Amino acid sequence: MDADIIRVEPVPGSPALIRADQLLTDAPGMEAAARWTAAASEADGVFRLRLAPGVDVCDLAATVRERGHRASPNHVLTGQPLFFGGPASRPFPAAPVPAPASARPPDDSPVTVAVLDTGLAEHPWWRDSPWFTERLREIAEVPDADGDGAPDAQAGHGTFVAGLVLRSAPEARLHPIQVLDGHGVGDEAGLLRALARLRDDRPQVLNLSFGYHTFDDRPSPLVEAALGALSGTAVVACAGNTASDRPFWPAALPGVVAVGALDAAQEGRAPFSAHGPWVDACARGEWLTSAFLEYGAFGGYARWSGTSFAAAVVSGAIASAARDMAPQEAVAHVLDPRRTRKISDLGTVVPLPG
């Protein structure tokens, strides 16, 4: 874990991870926090303040909010699986899987799925697609980014997620953006920068296979506003591998499709999956097979578990439906309880494609 990541627990029993001494806020909030600020930087209207020694970032965030401004500690977000252990903790090699069949070239598709994740490795399923080659330099995923001689903990996570989206929606174009490192770690500041990039090129579907707990179990007002600005985009996020009903953000935000994980039989909740009234949908999250890195024992395919991957299944189902309808109509269609069953505290079941 990065040296500047710390665990805070203002509410006993509800810990969160944040970047030490960093506050995110808007321009009025920066002025309100000026007396406690040692340095500041700005990107896309969001100010990252480095606080003076001894300032409690959680207390200051609460104070700035009380004054009517948007503010949040720079929460650390993590891909799922990470930190919580269990069967979702690592991938296993798998036999090759045929490329998803498409009725039209993906580059003629009216549907784009933005995948904010660890990046995307070259893979036979998409290596010749213009949407991949035009972004190769900025999103290339490598097995050992930190150079320690071992594969990073979540190397291949973005590639695996992308493959699952395409298995359900083979005609979709993907727009990968790297927000997590090879260990599946990013932060709220990086997420906000990525969301700002999408404002002028909005995808039909946005997949967020990561998340975080907040210091006060309330959503970040900055992330909530940034997602709200993507009108017309269906936002899908994993509910987390926390095995609890504690809200996991951004999945628990209103308007975001929060996805929990079913077991391999698609009958009940996977033991690692978060659950609760804020979870909208569920899909198989145990031992899915998808595209992966070519590295070591892996020949480009893997089996893996986690709510990350259940979310990708749901994103793919919504993208497939969005070929013929607006994104929000596609969400309503996929989650229509008359078409499938519902599970208490997990929402509507979204089956794997046949």
Catalytic residue flag (residue 117) = yes
Catalytic residue flag (residue 308) = yes
First to last CA, the chain: 40
Catalytic residue flag (residue 157) = yes
Is the CB of residue 204 less than 8 Å from the CB of residue 319?
yes
Written as one string, the DSSP assignment of 167-199 is: HH-TT-EEEEEE-S-TTSEEEHHHHHHHHHHHT
Catalytic option among 72, 209, 308, 320: 308
- How far is 160 from 39, CA to CA, in rounded Å? 39
Catalytic option among 26, 117, 152, 187: 117
Written as one string, the DSSP assignment of 193-228 is: HHHHHHTTS--SEEEE-EEB--TTSS--HHHHHHHH
Q: Which of 99, 89, 23, 100 is nearest to 57 (CA)?
A: 23
- How far is 202 from 205, CA to CA, in rounded Å? 9
- How far is 44 from 295, CA to CA, in rounded Å? 37
Name the residues annotated as catalytic.
117, 157, 308
